[in-house]
């Protein structure tokens, strides 16, 4: 095929990031249509980006003969149904992270994250993963997992250095944190499927898993997989001292989801991964990865990094110019990102996905990474409730 024809399901924040990335690979792709939960949002989006067709719903988009690939840019609680619909219509699937979660579908409990046992959630997520995988395999379509950090230039360089060293990875540490989401959906388990571990931790978990997969493939021809998970979560914005403060600089009002988490992954080769993710970290988005080799150390400071440094005494000086994601103020010293989407791997990710379809090959970030990430995340929740390590099924 000359160009891959893509239909977008969703017209929100991540869809806009994808449209920016698609511009970088325009010789390979045509965006032929879009749909959204509200048609007026899709119409506004289509007009802004010059997309020729607005579909009434995702079922219509997935069934269209004009679409080769369905790009799922919906909230996570809608992923399952869109993925399955696309696959049954023989459409390849791009899906944003994380793959799936538990959203209280079979309970009327108000505080899902508090009132539903995590062991039950873990079981349900495993069932969802199995169902999605079955439909993908039966219909022989490609699944491309939207974990952009796997494609970050610093992670690509890290992989080349790991290959050059021929040394085993003993430990990987990684973090994704910031000062918290103010979106209402993020405050509730029923719409977010979890708190900081689910929303933010899915990034570093996937990167750590990917690096161990890569190590195993280049050395032994098979991925090194997660064996067990220990997890701990907390609600640090609900402690008495914090609540007594008059002004808060981080997001608050979390209902039944956590704002802090850490998990430790035991890999089948005896090595470790440590993941930090929280919504109580001031100073902007933090994405970093640290690899401890037997013969060296590698640090990837994705966000922030000191490629650029800037200072201003007043926030208004930089006006509307983008500096960095999630910074509380543009005043003082900051680290402007010259191309934040490139630094975090978005155009590289979508180029790999589109070329995977054209060349009929597996993408670098595939269903294999998506399902193991989901398992690790919910094993982390399960572990935090049980107070013990959870073996990965």
Query: Tell me, what's the pLDDT at 281?
Result: 98
Shared fold status for 4-147 and 149-347+374-391: no
Query: Residue 283 corresponds to which tokens in the numbers above?
Result: 């100073």
* Chain position carrying tokens 């995340």: 377
Helix (H) or strand (E) holding 156: helix 153-165
Query: Tell me, what's the pLDDT at 98?
Result: 97
pLDDT confidence of 1, banded at 50, 70, 90?
low
Give the integer Cα–Cα distance in Å for 306 and 238.
34
Contact 384, 234 (CB under 8 A): no
What is the assigned CATH class of domain 149-347+374-391?
A: alpha beta
Task: Please state, for a pLDDT cut of 90, what percent of the chain lies above it.
Answer: 98
Contact 381, 122 (CB under 8 A): yes
Q: What are the sequence ranges of the domains in the chain? A: 4-147, 149-347+374-391
Give the integer Cα–Cα distance in Å for 39 and 347.
27
Q: Please, which residues have CB within 8 angstroms of residue 313's CB and are 6 or more apart in sequence?
A: 331, 332
Name the CA radius of gyration of the chain, rounded: 21
User: Has residue 311 got a pLDDT over 70?
Assistant: yes
Give the integer Cα–Cα distance in Å for 154 and 302.
7
Read off the pLDDT of each residue in 164-191 and give the average, rounded to a whole number.
Answer: 96
Give first-to-last CA distance, the chain, whole Å: 39
Tell me how crowded residue 254 is: count the other CB atoms within 10 A of its CB: 23
Read off the pLDDT of each residue in 134-144 and give the average, rounded to a whole number.
Answer: 98
What is the assigned CATH class of domain 4-147?
A: alpha beta
Query: Tell me, what's the pLDDT at 101?
Result: 98
184-215 pLDDT per residue, tens: 999 999 999 999 999 999 999 999 999 999 99
Contact 334, 187 (CB under 8 A): no
Helix (H) or strand (E) holding 11: none
Give the integer Cα–Cα distance in Å for 43 and 39.
6
User: Has residue 291 got a pLDDT over 90?
Assistant: yes
Contact 330, 315 (CB under 8 A): yes
User: Has residue 2 got a pLDDT over 90?
Assistant: no
Phi, psi of 342 (to 5 degrees): -65, -45
336-368 pLDDT per residue, tens: 989 999 999 999 999 999 999 999 999 999 999
Read off the pLDDT of each residue in 144-152 and give the average, rounded to a whole number.
Answer: 98
Task: Please state, for a pLDDT cut of 70, what percent of the chain lies above it.
Answer: 100
12-36 pLDDT per residue, tens: 999 999 999 999 999 999 999 999 9
221-255 pLDDT per residue, tens: 999 999 999 999 999 999 999 999 999 999 999 99
């Amino acid at each position: 095929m000359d160009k891959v024809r893509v239909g977008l399901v969703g017209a929100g924040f991540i869809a806009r990031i994808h449209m920016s990335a698609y511009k970088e690979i325009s010789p390979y792709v045509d965006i032929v249509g879009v749909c959204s939960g509200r048609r007026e949002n899709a119409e506004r989006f289509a007009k802004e980006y010059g997309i020729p067709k607005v579909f009434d719903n995702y079922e219509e988009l997935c069934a269209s003969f004009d679409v080769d690939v369905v790009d799922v840019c919906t909230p996570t609680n809608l992923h399952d149904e869109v993925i399955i619909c696309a696959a049954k219509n023989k459409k390849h699937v791009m899906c944003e992270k994380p793959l799936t979660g538990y959203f209280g579908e079979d309970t009327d409990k108000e505080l899902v994250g508090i009132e539903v046992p995590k062991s039950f959630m873990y079981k349900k997520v495993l069932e969802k993963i199995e169902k999605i995988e079955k439909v993908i395999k039966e219909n022989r379509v490609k699944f491309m997992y939207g974990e952009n950090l796997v494609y970050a230039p610093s992670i690509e360089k890290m992989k080349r250095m790991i290959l050059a060293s021929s040394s085993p990875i003993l430990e990987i540490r990684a973090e994704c944190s910031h000062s918290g989401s103010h979106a209402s959906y993020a405050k509730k388990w029923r719409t977010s499927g979890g708190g900081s571990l689910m929303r933010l931790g899915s990034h570093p978990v996937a990167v750590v898993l990917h690096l161990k997969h890569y190590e195993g493939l280049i050395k032994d021809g098979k991925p090194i997989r997660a064996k067990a998970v220990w997890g701990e979560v907390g609600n640090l914005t609900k402690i008495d001292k914090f609540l007594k403060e008059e002004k808060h600089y981080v997001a608050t009002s979390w209902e039944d989801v956590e704002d802090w988490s850490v998990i430790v992954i035991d890999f089948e080769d005896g090595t470790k991964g440590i993941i930090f993710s929280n919504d109580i970290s001031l100073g902007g988005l933090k994405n970093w990865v640290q690899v401890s080799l037997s013969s060296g150390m590698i640090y990837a400071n994705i966000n922030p990094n000191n490629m650029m440094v800037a200072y201003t005494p007043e926030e208004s000086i930089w006006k509307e110019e983008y500096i960095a994601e999630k910074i509380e103020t543009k005043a003082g010293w900051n680290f402007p990102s010259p191309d934040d989407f490139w630094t975090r791997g978005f155009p590289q990710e979508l180029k790999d996905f589109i070329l995977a379809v054209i060349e009929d090959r597996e993408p670098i970030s595939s269903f294999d990474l998506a399902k193991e990430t989901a398992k690790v995340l919910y094993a982390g929740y399960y572990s935090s409730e049980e107070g013990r390590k959870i073996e990965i099924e």
